């Protein structure tokens, strides 16, 4: 097998998938009476195919580079939309890049290999995935309304924790003293109880990072846990036990118990498009950009939405067009 073909196979290249539903592209119809002579277009032989060969070589090189960087990382996608319309699409999109794509959802499906997970406490299901891929370099969690531009994250340190602590729309301090919102007060009480049961060095990390009279809330649509923190994360989740700490409170609590924010990867997720309160009639194509590390919200509900997403993402990864 030729070396270039081996590289293509190594990064998961497959024949284009013909989707039954195409948009903005009329289907050709051929009848018995159609008799049109084919006349080949004349091109100067000195330039024939040079531009195309150069572009394809670059695209193959990029795909190999991305696969090499993320090829031992497991991606965990939590689906909130209908998994029958989206689960396979997420595997098609991200499976070319990552070691494996694990799909979690509140709609479990053995046929689609979708595992049950309650989004409000999704962090509690992660240790099961860690155990299954014990040798993985790291684990990247992603909610389906957040789209990842993986090609922009090659400079992020895979040995460090990644989270959106530098995105003010995603990460915020919640003062507990005088707080009249019962939900935050109750969450604060449970955080205090959980941290009090953590091993001492985790307690010290958390108290130095946060203090006594506040908690941190992070939307936690995307975060990364390297192998060196996997056992610590799993142990702390076990300590939390049956406490009903919400995903958006628990994930930053766990991260701040494991390490200091100064040690979090500073390059990851700093270029985030995060629009929490978009008008209902806004389409994702109006906010999506290939320059961002990730974009939120991008709501993919069906195959039509997926085709639209592939077309805008293909500016960053042209080989994505092979999927449609």
Residue 62 in domain:
no
Q: Mind giving me the DSSP string for 234-293? A: HHHHHHHTT----HHHHHHHHHHHHS-GGGS-SSTTSSEEE-TT--TT--GGGT--TTSS
110 close to 86: Cβ distance less than 8 angstroms:
no
Percent of the chain with pLDDT over 90: 76
Q: pLDDT (tens digit, 9 = 90+) per residue, 79-135?
A: 999 999 999 999 999 999 999 999 999 999 999 999 999 999 999 999 999 999 999
Q: Domain total for the chain?
A: 1
CA distance 288 to 278: 13
**54 part of a folded domain:** no
Query: How high is the pLDDT of residue 188?
Result: 97
> Is 4 within the bounds of a domain?
no
* Cα 104 from Cα 85, distance rounded (Å): 14
Beta bridge partners of 104: 78, 115
Average confidence score pLDDT of the chain = 87
- Percent of the chain residues topping a pLDDT of 70: 83
Query: What is the tens place of the pLDDT at every residue in 251-301?
Result: 999 999 999 999 999 999 999 999 988 887 888 889 999 999 999 999 999
Whether 199 is covered by a domain: the verdict is: yes
Residues in a beta bridge with 140: 75, 224
Q: Is 36 a member of any domain?
A: no
Q: What is the pLDDT of residue 9?
A: 55
The DSSP 8-state label assigned to residue 172 in this structure reads: E
The answer to whether residue 56 scores a pLDDT higher than 70 is no
Asked, for residue 57, whether it belongs to a domain, the answer is no
How confident is the model at residue 209, as a pLDDT? Answer: 96
pLDDT of 61: 86
pTM of the entire predicted model: 0.83
Lowest-pLDDT choice from 8-17, 22-31, 66-75, 252-261: 22-31
Does residue 231 form part of some domain?
A: yes
For 82, the domain range is 68-323
In a domain, 10, yes or no: no
Work out the burial of residue 2: count CB atoms within 10 Å of its CB; fewer than 13 is exposed, 13-18 middle, 19 or more buried.
Answer: exposed
pLDDT computed for residue 258 by the predictor: 98
Domain containing residue 169: CATH number: 3.90.550
Q: How many helices (H) and strands (E) does the chain have?
A: 9, 10
pLDDT tens digit string along 121-171? 999 999 999 999 999 999 999 999 999 999 999 999 999 999 999 999 999
């Amino acid at each position: 097998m030729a070396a270039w073909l081996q590289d293509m196979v190594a990064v998961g290249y497959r024949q284009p998938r013909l989707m039954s539903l195409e948009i903005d592209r009329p289907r050709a119809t051929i009848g018995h009476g159609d008799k049109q002579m084919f006349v080949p277009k004349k091109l100067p032989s000195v330039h024939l195919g040079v531009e195309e060969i150069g572009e394809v070589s670059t695209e193959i090189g990029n795909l190999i580079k991305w696969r090499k960087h993320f090829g031992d990382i497991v991606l965990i996608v939590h689906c909130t939309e209908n998994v029958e319309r989206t689960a396979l699409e997420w595997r098609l999109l991200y499976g070319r890049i990552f070691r494996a794509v694990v799909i979690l959802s509140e709609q479990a499906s053995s046929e689609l290999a979708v595992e049950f997970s309650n989004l409000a406490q999704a962090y509690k299901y992660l240790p099961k995935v860690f155990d299954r891929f014990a040798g993985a370099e790291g684990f990247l969690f992603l909610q389906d309304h957040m789209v990842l531009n993986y090609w922009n994250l090659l400079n992020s340190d895979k040995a460090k924790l990644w989270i959106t602590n530098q995105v003010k729309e995603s990460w915020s301090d919640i003062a507990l003293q005088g707080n009249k919102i019962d939900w935050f007060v109750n969450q604060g009480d449970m955080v205090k109880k959980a941290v009090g049961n953590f091993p001492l060095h985790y307690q010290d990390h958390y108290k130095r990072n946060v203090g006594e009279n506040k908690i941190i809330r992070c939307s936690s649509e995307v975060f990364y846990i390297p192998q060196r923190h996997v056992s610590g994360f799993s142990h702390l989740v076990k300590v939390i036990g049956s406490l009903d700490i919400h995903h958006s409170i628990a994930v930053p609590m766990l991260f701040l118990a494991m390490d200091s924010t100064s040690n979090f990867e500073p390059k990851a997720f700093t270029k985030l498009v995060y629009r929490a309160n978009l008008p209902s009639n806004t389409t994702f194509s109006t906010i999506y950009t290939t320059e961002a590390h990730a974009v939120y919200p991008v709501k993919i509900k069906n195959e039509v939405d997926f085709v639209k997403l592939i077309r805008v993402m293909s500016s960053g990864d042209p080989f994505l067009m092979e999927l449609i």
